Copies of this chain bind each other. A is one copy, B any other.
Amino acid sequence: MTTDQYQDVATILERIRAALEANDLAGVSSTLADSSTEPLVDALERLSPRDRAIAFRLLPKHRAVRVFEDFSPSLRADLVQALQDADVAAIFADLEPDDRAWLLDELPASLAPRLLRGLPEQERRLTSAVLGYPQGSIGRRMSPEYVSTRTDHTAEEALERVTSRLADAETVYTLPVLDGGRRVVGVVGLRDLLGASPHTAVADLMSEAQTAVAEDDDEVAARRCADQGLLALPIVDSESRLVGILTIDDAVRILEQEESEDAARQGGAEPLRRPYLSTPILSIVRSRVVWLLVLAVGATLTVRVLSVFEATLEQVTVLALFVPLLIGTGGNTGNQAATTVTRALALNDVRRRDILRIVSRELRVGLTLGMLLGSAGLAIAGLLYDVRIGLVIGLTLLAVCTMAATVGGAMPVVARALGVDPAVFSNPFITTFVDASGLVVYFLIARAVLQI
């Protein structure tokens, strides 16, 4: 039965703040003790760094480690710098090797050797193994504390290995099966071992193994684990020898972090390293201003295009009225195509070699959309202004939709081929491209139709 009195972030936050203001440390302690872990983590993340460090030190040790693991990586680093060495060493020793590597990535380099020195020999060895892989690789995120078994083991022998490692292994529910050369040749679930008669060979129980190589991109490996619904993915070296294991909870954590970064970049901002409400205003400004400037510089292209056609504009001012509508519709059409193809790429529904099929599909989609919107534009602008204006608007919509869908569909594949994240690169590029080229098309059509 859970005896936690406080489930609500705001209540917890209020009580901690009130107690801290009154210098009532016992009050802080009792609020901490009476709070569920999940809202407590949220509440602590919203405190000022100093208050957070004070509250954190009042947590009993086993709980402190749990809470610490739930903090976002950069808050962990902040906290470590605010705590005293002895506290840090105690927490550090209790973390898993992969969490340690993650934390060290966030800390100033000078702190790392000191922390590592404080670890027991065995733990230091495991942590160093993880730290040996490049940042951004799955080797950095895997756990080196796996339980494996061998093809020539029996179910009984495999179960004994499980029992001997219950205390420290990252997972005991999925066991990589190795051959004589420590190469992964399959996996066996604890469930299958429990269900088998004791003398069954592991080789007869195991199933096909999905694996990832330690140097692989962490997002790719995490997605493989999650997509296949695997509880754990064995991580191997270039010769298929087992070096670690990625559990699904860590895979989900990696994917969630990547998605936050992608979401931010798709919105045209750098990802924040802290929860929104505890990020300083100037950090938020910094995360956005570069992209805004880049896009604004891109948009000066539209100013130049319009300058070229300034004489036309002076003659027929009514053309200016439709500029936002036309480039907006082009941008929307392009973004639709880019978003669809980006997602299809992420899910492996399409690959790079499909580019011609994508372009041909988007060309047809764009043409169809252009005919529908173009007819509507022709009718409405024709009625409200005159037939020739209607014709200009209709033809421009047809051209812009076709162009935008085709470019929008191709762009994510081109981005991937260039080694750039399609989610980040495609939409801003399309908007800039469609805005500028759409205006050129618009005025060329206008000049031709209106004969100016």
Contact = CB atoms under 8 A, between A and B. Distances in A.
Interface in A240-263: 248-250, 252-253, 256, 259-260, 263
A317 interface: yes
A350 B36 CA distance: 18
A44 B266 CA distance: 32
A9 interface: yes
Contacts of A350: 276-277
Interface string A305-335: 0110010011001101111110111001101
Given A191-B166, A317-B317, A299 B277 contact: no
Given A173-B173, A249-B248, A4 B208 contact: yes
Interface string A87-121: 00000000000000000000000000000000000
A289 B335 CA distance: 13
Contacts of A238: none
Interface string A348-367: 11110110011001001100
A173 to B, nearest CB: 5
A354 to B, nearest CB: 7
A449 interface: no
B310 A317 contact: yes
Contact of A320 (B185, B190, B306): B306
A381 to B, nearest CB: 9
A18 interface: no
Nearest to A252: B226
Interface residues of A, number: 113
29 contacts: A2-B185, A38-B228, A172-B194, A173-B191, A190-B190, A229-B252, A229-B253, A231-B248, A248-B248, A256-B347, A260-B343, A267-B336, A267-B338, A268-B339, A269-B340, A277-B357, A277-B361, A289-B369, A291-B336, A292-B332, A299-B324, A299-B328, A303-B324, A306-B321, A313-B320, A317-B317, A320-B320, A324-B327, A328-B431
Interface of A: 1-2, 4, 9-10, 36-38, 42, 45, 162-163, 166-167, 172-173, 179, 185-186, 190-191, 194-195, 208-210, 226-231, 248-250, 252-253, 256, 259-260, 263-264, 266-269, 272, 275-277, 281-282, 284-285, 288-289, 291-293, 295-296, 299-300, 302-303, 306-307, 310, 313-314, 317-318, 320-325, 327-329, 332-333, 335-336, 338-344, 347-351, 353-354, 357-358, 361, 364-365, 368-369, 372-373, 376, 380, 431, 435, 439
